[in-house]
Amino acid sequence: MPSSTPSSSLFDRWSATYDLPGLQRFTYRPIHDAIVAQLAEAHPSTVVDLGCGTGQLTRRLIERFPDAAVIGVDFSAGMLAEATGRLGPNPADHPALVQAEAERLPFGPSSVDVVVCTESFHWYRDQAEALDGLAEIVRPGGRVLVASIATMTGLGDDIVRRLTSRGGRPIRALPPERLRRLLDRAGFEVVDQRRVPRLGLIGWPVLTDARHP
């Protein structure tokens, strides 16, 4: 049974209301649609849904890639409990749901074809460390798709970080070029970046598609 930690407690509480139909339809669903469309030509064997939350996208990835191992990863016990309910209580019916921190993923080197990460990356304590970890586990030729809230400028990012720091959980809403630089630094090559229209407080999120050379 996954256990809660102080750093995941916000998400444990949030998990009870996360699946409100209106919120899902107008805020998260457009991003999930964009990810599924971006993977239209892909044939992965292993897909990790990093920061999978209540498993909404995880379930769609299972349907889209029935022959792949689809693994949902999240550090929140509350979110994982909701995801288990969504995917079915019998582990044989659903992929592995793994409790882990994005900065310390329990996968072997070059063992993953595709990592998707929706609405989660902006919460990471150390985004550079998380990307270094992804560079370890994603095989050469594999892909990382990050869809994350994004400001227009570095100044906007700094303001969002300062404001949210007061609540004890800073958000890093990197403008697209900052995320591109971070991915470059980790050894990825960004092949596409675009905004995804949806309802939200801080502009439209950016979907970044990067390859591991």
Ligand X SMILES: C[S@@+](CC[C@H](N)C(=O)[O-])C[C@H]1O[C@@H](n2cnc3c(N)ncnc32)[C@H](O)[C@@H]1O
Which of 39, 77, 107, 119 touches ligand X by CB under 6 A? Answer: 119
Strands 206-211 and 189-195: antiparallel
Tokens for 101, please give them: 């921190």
Cβ partners under 8 Å of residue 119, min gap 6: 28, 31, 51, 53, 147, 148, 149, 205
Interactions with ligand X, residue window 6-65 (CB under 6 A): 8, 11, 28, 51-53, 56-57
Task: Give how far Cα 8 sits from Cα of 1, 11, 46, 56, Å.
Answer: 15, 5, 26, 19
- Gap between the Cα atoms of 79 and 193, Å rounded: 28
Number of residues that bind ligand X (CB under 6 A): 19
**Residue among 121 and 188 whose Cβ is closer to ligand X:** 121
- Gap between the Cα atoms of 4 and 157, Å rounded: 29
**Residue among 102 and 131 whose Cβ is closer to ligand X:** 102
**Residue among 96 and 155 whose Cβ is closer to ligand X:** 96
Least distance (Å) from ligand X to the CB of residue 129?
A: 10
Q: How far is CA 65 from the centre of its chain?
A: 18
Report which DSSP code applies to 26.
I
Angle among Cα 79, 96, 143 to the nearest 5 degrees reads 90
The answer to whether residue 102 forms part of the interface with ligand X (CB under 6 A) is yes
Least distance (Å) from ligand X to the CB of residue 213?
A: 26
Which of 98, 112, 113, 124 touches ligand X by CB under 6 A? Answer: 124
Least distance (Å) from ligand X to the CB of residue 170?
A: 12
**Residue among 101 and 113 whose Cβ is closer to ligand X:** 101
The site map against ligand X for 60-99 (x = CB under 6 A) is: --------------xxx--x--------------------
Interacting residue ranges for ligand X, rule: CB under 6 A: 8, 11, 28, 51-53, 56-57, 74-76, 79, 101-102, 118-120, 123-124
